[in-house]
Homo-oligomer: A and B are copies of this chain.
Amino acid sequence: MSFPDAAAAEAAFYVAFRELDITRMKRVWLDSADASCIHPGGDLLQGANAVLASWAKMFRNAQVPQVTHRLLQVSSDHHLAVHTVEENVSSDSGQRSARILVTNVYAQRDGGWHMLAHHASLPLVESRQKQAEPSSLH
């Protein structure tokens, strides 16, 4: 099963995330060694197996979270699309919440779209008014 466009793949990704549905999550990802995922503060996971194992483990340990997302920017080509997304994830009945910045990459292969990469990070310095202070190293 594939998706007609990157937006449809992204919608399915966030439904899977909200519902802790690993079966649906598997359908979202490109079944390829090229698939890659970086969770917030995490290392690079390469290959669909490693990526999906990380989501499966997370889903087993998690309470159903509240996940909202906002698409901030889209760049797309015939077979590749990049979405910049802001996620708000809360759990423990809203006791803990996090704003997460994400680069989602989608690829079209054999006529259908899948998620190719997910790079998520936590902005440690909240700075919506003034621009973020980059770290001294980067």
Once the chains are docked, how many angstroms separate the CA of A41 from the CA of B134?
Answer: 8
A42→B133 contact, CB < 8 A: yes
Q: Please indicate the chain B residues that have their CB under 8 angstroms from the CB of A138 in the complex.
A: 39-40, 58, 87, 89, 98, 100, 120
**A48 proximal to B (CB < 8 A):** no
Residue of B nearest to A61 (CB): B136
Within 8 A of B (CB), among A96-118: 96, 98, 100-101, 103, 105, 107, 116-117
Once the chains are docked, how many angstroms separate the CA of A62 from the CA of B100?
Answer: 27
B103→A105 contact, CB < 8 A: yes
B91→A80 contact, CB < 8 A: no
Interface size grouping (class) on chain A: 35 or more
A132→B80 contact, CB < 8 A: no
**Interface digits, A44-77 against B, CB 8 Å rule (1 contact, 0 not)?**
1110001001110110011001000000110111
Q: Please indicate the chain B residues that have their CB under 8 angstroms from the CB of A58 in the complex.
A: 134, 136, 138
Could you give 14 example pairs across A and B, Cβ below 8 Å? A39-B138, A40-B138, A42-B124, A43-B125, A43-B128, A43-B132, A44-B84, A44-B101, A44-B123, A65-B137, A76-B80, A91-B137, A98-B137, A121-B121
List 5 tightest A-B contacts by C-beta distance, closest first: A43-B132, A39-B134, A42-B132, A41-B124, A121-B121
